[in-house]
């Protein structure tokens, strides 16, 4: 925590970089952490929250053990990614942006993962799975569930 803030000491433009580092370290932005940043950089907490909520990269709630990203970029969309998102959402019983009650899975929608050739694309813990059908996506999810039971 202190290390992260010290790394950017003195640079008033570093707020976004600090938030990135904190988000990576805690997997979200805990309020206590933001309070410390606010204190050390002498900026109001509301200012930090205004940035934290503006940018998509920051999470205000803890992310689940596995992060599932369903690509909703244009190329994946025209190849039917929304149905895959629906299917996963139904299977997990959560809406996009939410985390399952057991803290295992977070379901997210993202814009273009840059592998449009493989669409529709789902990325689980940064590993890409391409050319998915609804069925395959569901099986993939089951595999992750089983693996960790």
Partner 1 sequence: MSTLVEELACERVRPETDHRILVCGGIPCRSLGCRLVKEALEEELQKEGLTGRVPVEIIGCIGDCSLGPSLIVYPEGLVYQKLAPEDARAIVREHLVAGRIVEALLHRDPRSDEILRQREEMPFYREQARLVLRNCGVISAHIDDYLKYRGYAALALALAEMNPEQVIEEVKKSGLRGRGGGGFPTGRKWELVRTAHSDEKFVICNADEGDPGAFMDRNILEGDPHSVIEGIIIAAYAVGAARGYIYVRAEYPMAVHRCREAIAQARQKNFLGDNILETGFSFDLEIRTGAGAFVCGEETALISSLQGTRGDPKPKPPFPAQKGLWGKPTLINNVETVVNIPLIILHGSKRFAELGPEGNRGTKVFALAGKVNHTGLVEVPLGTTLRKIIFDIGGGIPNNKKFKAAQTGGPSGGCLGVESLDLPMDYDSLREAGSIIGSGGLIVMDEESCMVDLARFYLDFNQDESCGKCTPCRIGSKRMLELLQKITEGRGEEQDLEILEQLALLMKNGSLCALGRTAPNPLLSTLRLFRDEYLAHIKERRCPAGVCRSLVRPWINPELCKACGLCARVCPAEAINGEKGVPYEIDLEKCCDCLRCLKECPFNAISQGGISRAEAVD
CB atoms within 10 A of CB 66: 19
The DSSP secondary structure of 47-67, one letter per residue, reads HHHHHHHHSTT--SS---SEE
CB of 102 to partner 1, least distance (A): 21
How many whole angstroms separate alpha carbon 138 and alpha carbon 32?
Answer: 37
CB of 122 to partner 1, least distance (A): 11
Q: Which residue lies nearer to partner 1 by CB, 81 or 99? A: 81
How far apart are the two ends of the chain, measured CA to CA in Å? 33
Q: Which residue has tokens 């099986």?
A: 139
Q: Does 123 bind ligand FES (CB under 6 A)?
A: no
Q: Does 73 bind partner 1 (CB under 8 A)?
A: yes
Q: Choose, by CB under 6 A, the member of 29, 113, 124, 141 that binds ligand FES.
A: 113
CB of 119 to ligand FES, least distance (A): 5
103: Cβ contacts below 8 Å, ≥ 6 apart: 62, 64, 65
Residues near partner 1 (CB under 8 A) are 12-17, 19-20, 47, 50-51, 54-58, 72-75, 77-79, 83, 86-87, 90, 110-119, 121, 127-130, 134
């Amino acid at each position: 925590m202190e290390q992260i803030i010290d790394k950017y000491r003195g640079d008033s433009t570093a707020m976004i970089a600090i938030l990135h580092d904190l988000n990576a370290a805690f997997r979200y932005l805990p309020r206590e952490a933001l309070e410390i940043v606010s204190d050390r950089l002498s900026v109001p907490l509301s200012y930090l929250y205004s940035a934290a909520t503006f940018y998509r990269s920051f999470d205000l709630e803890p992310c689940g053990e596995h992060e599932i990203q369903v690509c909703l970029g244009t190329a994946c969309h025209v190849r039917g990614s929304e149905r895959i998102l629906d299917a996963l959402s139904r299977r997990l019983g959560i809406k996009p942006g939410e985390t399952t009650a057991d803290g295992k899975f977070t379901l997210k929608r993202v814009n273009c993962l840059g592998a449009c050739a493989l669409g529709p694309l789902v990325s689980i813990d940064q590993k890409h799975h391409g050319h998915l059908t609804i069925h395959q996506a569901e099986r993939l999810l089951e595999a992750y569930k089983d693996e960790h039971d």
